[in-house]
Amino acid sequence: MLNKNKKILPFLYLLPTAILLLVFMIVPILYTFYLSFFDWNLIAPTKEFVGLKNYVEVFTDPINQKVILNTLIYILFLIVLNFVIPYFISLIVKFFIKKMQGAYKVLFFIPSLFSLVVGAMLFTWILNPVSGPIAYLMKSLGMTMPNWSNSGILAITVICFITNWKVFGYNFILLLTGLGSIPANIIDAAKIDGIPKWKLIWNVILPMNRGIAIYVLILTIVQGLQYVFTPINVITTGGPYYGSSNIIYQTYLNAFVLYKTGTSSALAIVTFIVFLVLLFIEIRFVEGKAKNYA
Amino acid sequence: MKNNILKKFLLIMGVMSLAVLFAGCGKKTSSSSVKHITYWHVNAQTQGGATVDDLVKKFNDTHKNIKVTAKYNPDMYKGLMQNLQSAQASGKVPDVTQVGWAYDNYFSSNFKYMMPTDAAKKFDGNTKFIDDNFSKRTLSFAKDSKGNLVGLPYSLSTPVLFINKDILSKYNIDESSLTTWEGVKAASKTIHDQSGKYGLYIQEPGDTWAQQAVMLSNGADIQKNGKAAFASSNGIAAYKYYQEMVNSKLALHTPWAQGMDSFIKGDVAMAFTTIAQASHIKKSAVFNASAIVAPHFESHKTVVPVGGSMLAITAQDSEQQKAAWEFEKWMYKAESAVTWSKGTGYLPPTKVALESASFKDYVKENPMLEPAVKTLDNAIPWTSFPKKGLQAEQSMIDARDKILSGSNVQSTLKAAQDKINVEQK
């Protein structure tokens, strides 16, 4: 009797989460996959089966191609702004600055408490190329501010900076905590051996912090692409001519503005697969490392 | 001991089930005499939401047999449409729904609704209410591509040219020269040459409403017999004018919020945008602001697409439809319509309200509204293509973005027109 209970109980404990996952994640994903083979406007009684047409469109339509390219640019910018720079600064704070570590943590973390909509509106005002404070300042110095919302690459840059403002502190703290968990005796040993600091960081610290670093890297990409959605929606609505759109905004635009659920679902499934691959990498490195310790 | 607990439990359950039973009875008796209907609208607290609540409260206080519940839907007409889709899927649709003009055909071909003329005939015995209150032109705004009257026009707006009088007088520009787009260009050039400021901003939201007004006022058609027709020589000339203005820095090309901000701060002399912006401009502008009728090109007249929304009856049950019709009729009373107009900045839809003393007084206090009211006589329905209308609008937005980024006007407009017409076959 007791034995039987032991077998069932774990599943019973899992049940609430499993049901939630099933209802809110797995079923919608399966339904999205199903919808990606149809042409449907969200409400019409009939769905027209179109086979793989939506998937072909994802890769052949010039607008989608532009959007995929933008997505790659976004990823590159996000990695630099939200991963490389916070990592660099956390290394400096950890190994080169002795005082005020707590103050830096708090200061960097504050913006992540604000809503992105607020941030986006604030930055639209500050960075208004004609009438914003920065534009006025530049004018008084005899310069003109470029009209960034009319250039895809500049708009992407500004949008990435807005998300940077939001996630920098969070990523910084994660990385700093990771660095803090590296056993002190290893670092002390290296110091006694007289190994230069940069060599210590390159050969010892970075490899030992790899798990957290990969986790933050994946988070930067997956969460970053979702975070940029808000400023895109508030400021540029993907413009100029899809110049600042990314694959997630395009999925939204197709589904809820144009009611093209087929195209939208195909885009969503492609994104899903890309994220799945990233997740696989994360599991390989992060969880794999945990196994090594055990 | 155990038995005792069980008894207590049963007693509690018994009391609760009785309570539920009585509650159910109570509802049943009241629902036979009072009809509950829901009204879905898009007015946030900053956009007249408080006025909607006031009107609904007033209606409920004066109508003992109908109780209206107003529900605000975020994200404007787009957000409301999304909610309506899920409501339809779950079978719980609202009874009265506010529908934006751009969704006219999408709404009429995908949702069940009762035509206002049918409601009038069924519940009043005639269509006198509609005939007395609405002009033919106003009713034409609410017709779908098959000519069916989908709802009754509720909020109306037209684009006007807001002007910064301080800048104009500083550079000796005569207001009367701004009745044509050619005059606007000359004025913009004077301002730009002498101050470096921009002359004009034309609103660029997620639709091409204002750009359509520019094309229409050059004698172009947006659609003809259900097909896109804007790539005509007149349409192309209008967009070329706009592109040249942007290229030579006479006109500002930027998203809507930033463009209006620049106008309000006095960095742009004129803004071509919806009359619904009037109260915002009045409140925020630090200069002497005024509004004039939408300009036209020389040898053409002003024609603008109407903006705003209509009210449609989405109730399914006959009793509910009757209550919805009662509510609508009350909302269109001159007094309610003027209150609504004051709260939202839109123009009232009925003849009676437009001619009422209270609205005329209101216009006197807010002279910016005057050109908008005048323009109503030159307004035509907002273009809504019969098939894939929302995608058609997106094609026009794409064309605007491309042209303002420097693409060839003729080929871009032609490509957009062809893309829309492929879907219309």
Between residues A43 and B281, which one has the greater pLDDT? B281
The pLDDT mean for chain B works out to: 90
What's the rounded Cα separation, in Å, for the pair A268 and A54?
Answer: 11
Closest partner CB to A258 (pick from B85, B198, B394): B394
Contact by Cβ (8 Å): A244, A236: yes
For residue A7, CA distances in Å to A12, A15, A169, B47 come to 9, 14, 44, 59
Chain B residue with CA closest to A152: the answer is: B405
Beta-carbon-side half-sphere exposure of residue A28 (alpha carbons within 13 Å): 8
Sheet containing B307-313, strands listed edge to edge, beginning at the edge strand earlier in sequence: B66-72, B35-41, B96-100, B307-313, B152-157
pLDDT band for B2, please (50, 70, 90 cuts): very low
Total number of domains in chain B:
2
What's the rounded Cα separation, in Å, for the pair A193 and A191?
Answer: 5
| Long-range CB contacts for residues B118-126, cutoff 8 Å, separation at least 24 | B119/B313, B119/B321, B119/B324, B119/B325, B119/B328, B120/B325, B122/B321, B122/B322, B123/B321, B123/B322, B123/B325, B123/B326
Q: What is the number of other CB atoms lying within 10 angstroms of the CB of residue B335?
A: 14
Q: What is the pLDDT of residue B90?
A: 80
Place of tokens 């406007």: A41
What's the rounded Cα separation, in Å, for the pair A172 and A90?
Answer: 6
Question: What residue type is assigned to position B299 of the chain?
Answer: S
CA distance A158 to chain B (A): 14
Residues of B in contact with A244 (CB under 8 A): none
What's the rounded Cα separation, in Å, for the pair A201 and A293?
Answer: 21
B233-247 and B389-404 helices cross at what angle (nearest 10)? 50
| Any domain includes B133 | yes
| Any domain includes B81 | yes
Are B170 and B281 members of one domain? Answer: yes
Q: What is the pLDDT of residue A1?
A: 52
Residues of A in contact with B82 (CB under 8 A): 256
pLDDT-wise least confident of A47-51, B9-13, B82-86, B280-284: B9-13
pLDDT exceeds cutoff 80 at B268? yes
Domain range for B116 = 34-156+307-366
Are B394 and B411 members of one domain? Answer: yes
CA distance B127 to chain A (A): 31
Q: What is the pLDDT of residue B62?
A: 95
Q: What is the number of other CB atoms lying within 10 angstroms of the CB of residue A2?
A: 5
Are B280 and B352 members of one domain? Answer: no
Residues of B in contact with A42 (CB under 8 A): 85
CA distance B258 to chain A (A): 6
| Any domain includes B225 | yes
pLDDT band for B25, please (50, 70, 90 cuts): very low
Are B95 and B146 members of one domain? Answer: yes
Chain B residue with CA closest to A46: the answer is: B110
Are B170 and B132 members of one domain? Answer: no
What's the rounded Cα separation, in Å, for the pair B203 and B227?
Answer: 25
| Any domain includes B290 | yes
Q: Which CATH superfamily is domain A50-87+99-176+210-293 in?
A: MetI-like (1.10.3720.10)
Closest-CA residue to B263 (of B191, B174, B365, B344): B191
Closest partner CB to A241 (pick from B88, B261, B398): B398
Which of B84, B85, B109, B258 to probe the A interface (max A CBs under 10 A)?
B258
Q: What is the pLDDT of residue B5?
A: 58
Q: What is the pLDDT of residue B334?
A: 92
Q: Do A128 and B258 lie within an 8 Å CB cutoff? A: yes
Are B172 and B265 members of one domain? Answer: yes
Contact by Cβ (8 Å): B383, B305: yes
Give the residue extent of every domain in chain A: 50-87+99-176+210-293
Beta-carbon-side half-sphere exposure of residue A134 (alpha carbons within 13 Å): 12
Q: What is the pLDDT of residue B344?
A: 87
Closest partner CB to A125 (pick from B198, B206, B261): B261
Are B40 and B108 members of one domain? Answer: yes
Are B183 and B264 members of one domain? Answer: yes
Which of A128, A253, A254, A264 to probe the B interface (max B CBs under 10 A)?
A128
Contact by Cβ (8 Å): B331, B70: no
What's the rounded Cα separation, in Å, for the pair B354 and B334?
Answer: 8
Q: What is the pLDDT of residue A26?
A: 94
Q: Buried (b) or exposed (e) across B209-224, using 16+ Cβ within 10 A? A: bbbbbbbbbbbbbbbe
β-bridge mates for residue B98, sequence order: B311
Q: How far apart are the first and last CA of chain A?
A: 33
What's the rounded Cα separation, in Å, for the pair A216 and A282?
Answer: 10
Q: Do A237 and B206 lie within an 8 Å CB cutoff? A: yes
Q: Buried (b) or exposed (e) across A138-148, using 16+ Cβ within 10 A? A: eeeeeeebebb
What's the rounded Cα separation, in Å, for the pair B84 and B77?
Answer: 10
Closest partner CB to A129 (pick from B89, B254, B404): B254
Are B77 and B141 members of one domain? Answer: yes
Closest partner CB to A124 (pick from B78, B88, B258): B258
* Grouped pLDDT means (10 residues each) for chain A, 294 residues: 75 93 94 94 85 93 93 94 93 83 83 88 90 91 88 92 91 91 87 86 88 90 90 88 93 90 95 89 71 49
Chain B residue with CA closest to A256: the answer is: B82
Contact by Cβ (8 Å): B217, B158: no
Q: Do A131 and B258 lie within an 8 Å CB cutoff? A: yes
Q: Do B390 and A44 lie within an 8 Å CB cutoff? A: no
Helix (H), strand (E), coil (C) string for chain A: CHHHHHHHHHHHHHHHHHHHHHHHHHHHHHHHHHHCCEECCCCCCCCEECCCHHHHHHHHCHHHHHHHHHHHHHHHHHHHHHHHHHHHHHHHHHHCCCCCHHHHHHHHHHHHHCCHHHHHHHHHHHCCCCCCHHHHHHHHCCCCCCCHHHCHHHHHHHHHHHHHHHHHHHHHHHHHHHHHCCCHHHHHHHHHCCCCHHHHHHHHHHHHCHHHHHHHHHHHHHHHHHHCHHHHHHHHCCCCCCCCCCHHHHHHHHHHHCCCHHHHHHHHHHHHHHHHHHHHHHHHHHHHHHHHHC
Are B180 and B230 members of one domain? Answer: yes
Q: Do A241 and B85 lie within an 8 Å CB cutoff? A: no
What's the rounded Cα separation, in Å, for the pair B42 and B311?
Answer: 12
pLDDT band for B3, please (50, 70, 90 cuts): low
pLDDT band for B4, please (50, 70, 90 cuts): low
Which of B200, B254, B395 to probe the A interface (max A CBs under 10 A)?
B254
Interface of B with A (CB under 8 A): 78, 82, 85, 88-89, 106, 110-111, 198, 206, 252-255, 257-258, 261-262, 265, 267-268, 390-391, 394, 398, 401-402, 404-405
What's the rounded Cα separation, in Å, for the pair B143 and A292?
Answer: 70
Residues of B in contact with A235 (CB under 8 A): 255, 257
Interface of A with B (CB under 8 A): 41-44, 121, 124-125, 128-131, 147, 149-150, 235-237, 239-242, 256-260
| Dihedral-angle region of residue B380 (phi above 0 means left; psi in -120 to 50 means alpha; beta otherwise) | beta
| Any domain includes B91 | yes
Per-residue pLDDT of B297-344, as tens digits, reads: 999 999 999 999 999 999 999 999 999 999 999 999 999 999 999 988
Q: Do A147 and B254 lie within an 8 Å CB cutoff? A: yes
Q: Which residues contact A69 (CB under 8 A, 6 or more apart)?
A: none
Q: Do A240 and B401 lie within an 8 Å CB cutoff? A: yes
CATH number of the domain encompassing residue B400: 3.40.190.10
Residues of A in contact with B261 (CB under 8 A): 125, 128, 131
β-bridge mates for residue B313, sequence order: B96, B114
Residues of A in contact with B255 (CB under 8 A): 124, 149, 235-237, 239
Are B274 and B344 members of one domain? Answer: no
Q: Do B88 and A43 lie within an 8 Å CB cutoff? A: yes
What value does the mean pLDDT take over residues B38-52?
88
Contact by Cβ (8 Å): A220, A78: yes
pLDDT band for B77, please (50, 70, 90 cuts): confident
| Any domain includes B24 | no
What's the rounded Cα separation, in Å, for the pair A218 and A174?
Answer: 13
Contact by Cβ (8 Å): B210, B272: yes
| Any domain includes B21 | no
pLDDT exceeds cutoff 60 at B21? no
Q: What is the pLDDT of residue B13?
A: 53
Q: What is the pLDDT of residue B194?
A: 95
Q: Do B255 and A236 lie within an 8 Å CB cutoff? A: yes
Tokens matching residue B111: 């949702």
Are B95 and B206 members of one domain? Answer: no
